[in-house]
Amino acid sequence: MKWADAITAGLAFMFLSTPAVAEGFGTQGAAQLYDTYCAQCHGMDRNGKGINTVGLSVQPRDHTDAKAMGDVPDDQMFLAIQKGGLAVNKSILMPAWESVLTTEEIAGLVTYLREVCDCGNK
């Protein structure tokens, strides 16, 4: 097993063993999902500085960066969450969440990320 695969498998195990419930997929529900599945890498401040980033060759995206996030279309964000980083030519370390999150939860996260970056829909 490659190092990156081992890290991804370990992260997936950690995330999969933590239940999350989106309450109506509103801002609070999406924030709970983010805290459960995304914050370990993207940070509690949503700035790409999570506890799992030490030693990563590619740093996670800063979701508070309006310019960088504003350049990413919603469908690409959705695909990155659903299918993982490789689906959008990004890091292999970004896991696919399609077996954990529903389509509605992923869409809620995309909407929430637009609120976090204050960069509007694309």
Confidence grade of residue 14 (pLDDT, cut at 50, 70, 90): very low
What pLDDT is attached to residue 9? 46
Report the alpha-carbon distance of residue 8 to residue 14 in Å, rounded: 10
Report the alpha-carbon distance of residue 9 to residue 67 in Å, rounded: 31
Report the alpha-carbon distance of residue 89 to residue 68 in Å, rounded: 16
For 25-80, write each residue's pLDDT tens digit.
678 899 999 999 999 999 999 999 999 999 899 999 999 999 999 999 999 999 99
Given a cut of 70, whether residue 13 has pLDDT beyond it is: no
What pLDDT is attached to residue 120? 79
For 43-56, write each residue's pLDDT tens digit.
999 999 999 999 89
Report all structural domains of the chain as residue ranges with CATH numbers, in order of start.
3-117 (1.10.760.10)
Report the alpha-carbon distance of residue 15 to residue 13 in Å, rounded: 5
For 69-119, write each residue's pLDDT tens digit.
999 999 999 999 999 999 999 999 999 999 999 999 999 999 999 999 999
Tokens of 106: 């992923």
